[in-house]
Amino acid sequence: MLEYGILIEVMGRYIHENCTYTENHAEGTYTFTGPCVKTGKPYSVTIPGHELWDLNQGEPIMCLRSLKSDDREFVMTGLSPEGWDEVFA
In tens, the pLDDT along 23-78 reads 999 999 999 999 999 999 999 999 999 999 999 888 999 999 999 999 999 999 99
- Give the whole-angstrom CA distance, residue 12 versus residue 61: 12
pLDDT at site 63: 94
Domain extent for 83: 2-88
CB 34 within 8 A of CB 43: yes
In the chain, the number of structural domains is 1
pLDDT the model gives residue 89: 81
How many whole angstroms separate alpha carbon 38 and alpha carbon 17?
16
